Structure 1
Amino acid sequence: MGKGHTYVQWIVAFVAEMTLLTYGLQAGWVSPMKVILQSESSPAGRPLTEMEMTWVASAVPLAGVIGVPLFVYIADSYGRKVGVLVMAIMQMCCWIIKLSTTNIICLIIARILAGIPAGGCFQLIPVYVKEISQDNIRGMLVSMFLLMQNLGILMIYAMGSYLGYYTVLWIVLTMSVASVLALIKAPESPSFLVKIGKYEEAAATMAFLRGLDMNHKEILGEVNLLKEDDRHFKSLPDITLLAILKNRSYRTGLLLVVIIITVQAINGNYAMFTYASSVFSESGVTLSPELQSLSIPIVMILGSFTSMSCVDKFGRKVLLTLTFAIITAALISLGTILTMRHQGGSFPNWLPVVIIIVSVWSHAAGVAPMPYVIMSEMFNFQIRAKVLGCVVSYAWFVSFLQLFAFGPAISLIGLHNTMYCFAAVNLVGVFLTLLIVPETKGKSVEEIEKMLAKK
């Protein structure tokens, strides 16, 4: 008990991030099931039309916008753990509905029940995991949430390729039930316990997470620091969004995060994930459907492992800058290959595959997780959930715009020029990260706020 340990923090983070695994299962479910639901042997009793499938697919991102403010309210009013548990229950209900009926209206309702917690996952999970983690491992634990999402996508692609419709649903429902049961035993965030005045419970929870005695000087020091922050912010008027904007360090931090999230959301990789088959085909790549669908999540998982292993070693800023730069080079190369192909040129068949893999890997290794890691560390716990809620809602909307504009952009300027445009966005990301993003590795919230106040 004197030396402490970190394995409980890893277990709790894994349990919370099971909601991201379920989100990955939901996000990838349409791809393998589309063929089944539109076949003559569809479990719906008839093939679903293209418009019906469009509604089934698009219900998740649309509902995600609703989910963000809902879980901001739950997290601030009832607790981080309660919010995560509500997410898991809603995800479980989604699978139950899909198992119970294949009526198109019910399928859309089920997808809405999946989309609402999806909106909260990217806002609440980083907050909860950050607040139960000690400084030297928080980067790894927070960045693990994208690994869980990518594992979910890989699992549903693999199961959908080789197992039946209802077999897949029974498997994922079992996993979802296990997630709910595990979350019931998970602890509440010490930061939230301090916020509601449960100081002894906060100390006991922190001691349990760290493997230390409640009276250990490290536990007492951290709880006292949380109490001082809590007293300070309770002495202030209610912190509204307007009040946040009036505070120089908060305003600067929010602006920096919005800028980086904008670049991340329109950098092209989300569209490439969604339209991977078209990009492969336009590049002259021919792969079997199973290999093609599985290759993207496998590479994303490898990127997530890279992120987890490097984030606390090299820092957030270095990893984000490097991966933006790699994606820039990859998309310029892909645009050049597409231009050569359009003009009748030739190139090795393996080259586009390598370039797409490098781009996907880089996105998963840095561009996707680092803004959320930085966000979770940048703001005081009293405003963290509120700020992240606004930013994540914005991110969902911008991602939708990118996806919505991808098809028309290809028709208007061609895929090759679209890749050049995405490369330019990533190049902007390189310079913005170098110039304006602070390094948050190993720094307290107070130290980060002082850096932001000087910008």
Structure 2
Amino acid sequence: MNKYYFFFGEGSKVNQYICAILINLAVLAYGAAVGWMSPMTLLLQSDQSPAGAPLSDTVVSWMASVSYMVCIPATLLFAGVEERLGRKAALLGMSSCMAICWVIKLSSMEVWAFIAARAVFGLAMGAAFVVAPVYVKEISDDSIRGTLGSLVVLSQTTGNLVMYVVGDYLSYRGCLWFCLALPAVHIVLFLMMPESPSYLVKNGELEEAARVVAWLRCSREDSALVKAEIDTLQKEQDNDKESSKFAMKAIWSDKILRRAFYIALAVTLAREVCGANPVLNFAAYIFELADSGLVLSPNQQAMMLGAVQVAGSALASSVVEKAGRKPLLFTSSLISGASMCVLASWFVLRARGVPAPGWLPVSALCLCIFCDAAGLQPISMVVMNEIFSFKYRSSVSAVTMGLASSTDFVQLLTFKPLANSIGIEYCFYFFGAVCLVNSVYVIFKLPETKQRSLEEIYEKLKTKKERESEKVKAVEA
């Protein structure tokens, strides 16, 4: 008996959107937890600190960075969980970790509790971009996988904005209760959602996989569409069995997979070192340092930054299937790099007493964050999941996110000390250079993956010499 029912017209994609939105509710809760640092840093370091005394820069830096330190092993942990227990179990585990984080903060105002709670949040951080993008990709039809894949970043940015607003209007404990409610609601709602069809096929649960595919595609279980998709998933699994048992060993021994891995690593690191992470964690601090003369408070300027970020990620989800992955990633990298360099130059001019418009730092940061949300963040995740089969997605996501988290840990631990010692302009020049180099890399190395099969993508990764050699062998055969 079919336990999944569809209530929309046959062939409708509504169920895929419902499932993807509920998957990303956990990412929205994650975005709120990341955004919590911006309004709460100002409060906790003020004379009205709920901790009883202002927290030092060292404590705040550890609060911001410890999550990324824990995230490094957590990516490998959750990659193993989603491979052995399933995508659904891993996602519910992510929300459970976030709930524990807020319970700790509600229980104590000691420094150890602040840092311990952010460390527990690091477990959820390790799952966010390892589990959710893979899960969404595996429930999506090829025609909308870019749009649904972009919802991951849209959800995170929405969470950031929600926390900027909530942090400005609710009390300290009110914010904590609000943040606790988000993962709790996700856990309750997501219990109704199915497991990934790819995971079910891998475990030999073909009948259940057919039921899930039928529900996601709003089709009958015995329809040709459902049978064809199950056959495709089985073929993918059979191809993976022919390679090495260890995913990373197989990638390293195959030159095409190795090139795909280099691309995934490059776009992931560029995404993390583009400057968006320090900006989002210390947005209010940066605006306070800029002292642009605007009537808005630093936290209200951070809200504006969050709104721009949501607008950018919304644009990405609406145009990614039309514009393609490569043009969006190139354009966003180029503009983001240029805006970071302009922002750094503004700080240089101000330090030398040269008049500079007060609106420029806010505008430059908004443009940078808009481009990050419209291209660097979502497209890098979509591409990474499109260029690997089921067997490699979790492992590649874990390795790349582990390395990315290492860079995030270093960035957030050193950003404020470096900004105060050598000058914040040098930090922004570095971020700008990373973005500009990435734009060049995208032109020459990244293949277009929009609505292309793995075979077509891997064909694009071959060199001209390799393609000609294969043609000669085919003729000889």
Q: Is the 8 A contact 1:283 1:352 kept in 2?
A: yes
What runs of 5+ residues in structure 2 fail to find an aligned partner? 1-7, 465-477
2 CA distance for matches of 1:219 and 1:332? 51
Q: Is the 8 A contact 2:33 2:179 kept in 1?
A: no
Correspondence for 1:200: 207
Q: Is the 8 A contact 2:285 2:298 kept in 1?
A: no
Equivalent position amino acid for 1:433 in 2: V
2 CA distance for matches of 1:106 and 1:275? 20
Correspondence for 2:119: 112
Correspondence for 2:474: none
CA displacement, residues 179-229 of structure 1 (integer Å, 9 cap, x when unaligned):
001121111000010000011111110110110111221211111011122
Correspondence for 1:393: 402
Alignment partner of 1:162 is 2:169: yes
Quote the offset at 1:411 in angstroms: 6.2
2 CA distance for matches of 1:413 and 1:52? 20
1 CA distance for matches of 2:410 and 2:325? 27
Q: Is the 8 A contact 1:2 1:213 kept in 2?
A: no
SS in 1 for 2:142: coil
Judge which range, 354-363 or 55-64, deviates more: 55-64
Equivalent position amino acid for 2:343 in 1: L
Q: Is the 8 A contact 2:42 2:284 kept in 1?
A: no
Match runs of 1:305-384 below 5 Å: 305-384=314-393
Quote the offset at 1:240 in angstroms: 3.6
Correspondence for 1:147: 154
Equivalent position amino acid for 2:164 in 1: Y
Q: Could you tell me which of 257, 264, 284 is aligned with 1:250?
A: 257
Q: Could you tell me which of 235, 239, 243 is aligned with 1:232?
A: 239
Q: Could you tell me which of 196, 214, 229 is aligned with 1:222?
A: 229
CA displacement, residues 128-168 of structure 1 (integer Å, 9 cap, x when unaligned):
00000101111111111111111112222212211122222
Q: Is the 8 A contact 2:38 2:281 kept in 1?
A: no
Q: Is the 8 A contact 2:341 2:432 kept in 1?
A: yes
2 CA distance for matches of 1:308 and 1:297? 17
Quote the offset at 1:52 in angstroms: 4.0
Q: RMSD of aligned C-alpha atoms?
A: 2.3
2 CA distance for matches of 1:58 and 1:418? 17
Judge which range, 10-19 or 266-275, deviates more: 266-275
2 CA distance for matches of 1:334 and 1:293? 16
Q: Could you tell me which of 30, 41, 51 is aligned with 1:23?
A: 30
TM-score when scaled to structure 2?
Answer: 0.89
Aligned sequence identity (%): 34
Quote the offset at 1:409 in angstroms: 5.4
Quote the offset at 1:6 in angstroms: 1.1
What runs of 5+ residues in structure 1 fail to find an aligned partner? none
Q: Is the 8 A contact 2:37 2:281 kept in 1?
A: no
Correspondence for 1:173: 180
Mark the CA change 1:92 to 1:203 in structure 2 (over 3 Å): closer, same or farther: same
SS in 2 for 1:102: coil
Correspondence for 2:470: none
Match runs of 1:254-293 below 5 Å: 254-277=261-284, 279-281=286-288, 283-286=290-293, 287-293=296-302
2 CA distance for matches of 1:251 and 1:52? 40
Judge which range, 256-265 or 68-77, deviates more: 256-265
Q: Could you tell me which of 74, 80, 102 is aligned with 2:87?
A: 80
CA displacement, residues 398-427 of structure 1 (integer Å, 9 cap, x when unaligned):
223334454565567644454333332222
Quote the offset at 1:447 in angstroms: 1.9
Equivalent position amino acid for 2:330 in 1: T
2 CA distance for matches of 1:39 and 1:262? 34
Mark the CA change 1:243 to 1:236 in structure 2 (over 3 Å): closer, same or farther: closer
Mark the CA change 1:238 to 1:108 in structure 2 (over 3 Å): closer, same or farther: same
Mark the CA change 1:341 to 1:70 in structure 2 (over 3 Å): closer, same or farther: same
TM-score when scaled to structure 1?
Answer: 0.93
Mark the CA change 1:177 to 1:276 in structure 2 (over 3 Å): closer, same or farther: closer
